[in-house]
Amino acid sequence: MDDVGYMTIALELAALGRGHTSPNPMVGAVVVDPNGRVVGKGFHEAVGKPHAEVMALQEAGAMANGATLYVTLEPCNHYGRTPPCTEAILTAGITRVVVAASDPNPDVAGGGSAYLENNGIGVTVGVCAPEARKLNEAFNKYIVTKTPFVVVKCAATLDGRIATRSGDSKWVSGEASRRFVHTLRHELDAIMVGIGTVVADDPSLTARMDAGDGKDPVRIILDTHLSISAEATLLHLDSTAETVVVCGFSVSDDKIARIRKEGVRVVTMESEKGLILLRPLMARLGKMGITSILIEGGSRIIGSAFREQIVDKLLFFFAPRILGGNDGTPICNGPGPELMKDAIRLRDLRVHRFGNDLMIEGYVD
């Protein structure tokens, strides 16, 4: 097996940490002895737990001496919640380190690799780099900008409607698509919807996984006038994740106090024409430690997100249905561009199938 093969194993290990490592990245590591045998494996399981390199080296034990370490992210060279992995690598007697992606943090990028090289260890960087960067796309943005990685998800008919003229939207997509969405909720830090979605659907916005081990996201509700009902399900959930209601500055203190009595965090933000401004909100949420957000709708929030240019990635599910007419709810509401040349362009497109639904995955150019 070559470097790519061993790194692929490390990437698969790293992915086992999905939904549990934030605000840390997902990292996997493999120790391979001089005969090509894998003698140690590890991945970062959760914040505060040992890093992947340490786990793999512990499993390898004495067999790490003279071996090669494959790791999906450049080993850290600083003290944080855990000691630097570079010291553990030196102590174990590793002679070569193969890295998929350099640390995206501009303050420390390259430091770990340089430290190892200065101590006589051979370092190769860039093996399976695109796969490693995609795995940690949310971390990579947050560590540089301190704002969340924003994913927009919607389910629509083939003619681009997310609800009928009466507002009915259950269900546009099939069961397989909805199961995948619960996986997304588990993997990302937060989920955001507008008050319109809360009124129409009274959702819980939890992560209901088949295995029963889903991690609920922080639930963010945009409610400019703080009109949410005290009976809304979102205000009375038995969940370890908090609910955050975002309202405008003009809302009275009495209204805010009423909602806070339900154990909900209320955040006041600037609004314009009845809509919370999303770009300053992203900076605020970043300061709260939220590294990734799934926007699930409705159409006004999705439209605002694209207009304010906060979207990094989209996941659009299209079901084999056609509503017809021009009075259903479109994916995006609000004014659009006059010219086609000004349309939002996407890159790195992929198409996935979930049952009879097709999901288009793409990144905003």
Q: Domain residues of the chain, as ranges?
A: 3-136, 146-364
Whether 285 and 220 have beta carbons less than 8 Å apart is answered as yes
Reading the block at residue 137, the tokens are 């796309």
Instruction: List, in order, residues 6 or more apart from 301 with CB less than 8 Å away.
Output: 192, 193, 194, 222, 278, 295
In the set 12, 53, 308, 338, the catalytic residue is 53
Q: Tally Cβ neighbours within 10 Å of residue 44.
A: 27
The fold of the 146-364 domain, in CATH, is: Dihydrofolate Reductase, subunit A (3.40.430)
Order the strands of the 243-248 sheet from edge to edge: 265-269, 243-248, 218-222, 190-194, 292-297, 149-157, 313-319, 357-364, 346-354
Q: Which residues pair with 248 in a beta bridge?
A: 269
Reading the block at residue 7, the tokens are 């790194």
| H or E segment and range at residue 338 | none
| H or E segment and range at residue 363 | strand 357-364
Give catalytic status of residue 53 as yes or no: yes
Give mean pLDDT in consecutive 10-residue pieces for the chain, a chain of 365 residues.
97 96 96 97 93 96 97 87 86 97 86 94 97 98 97 96 88 93 94 91 82 82 94 88 95 94 94 95 97 93 95 97 90 91 95 97 95
Global confidence as pTM: 0.91
The fold of the 3-136 domain, in CATH, is: Cytidine Deaminase; domain 2 (3.40.140)
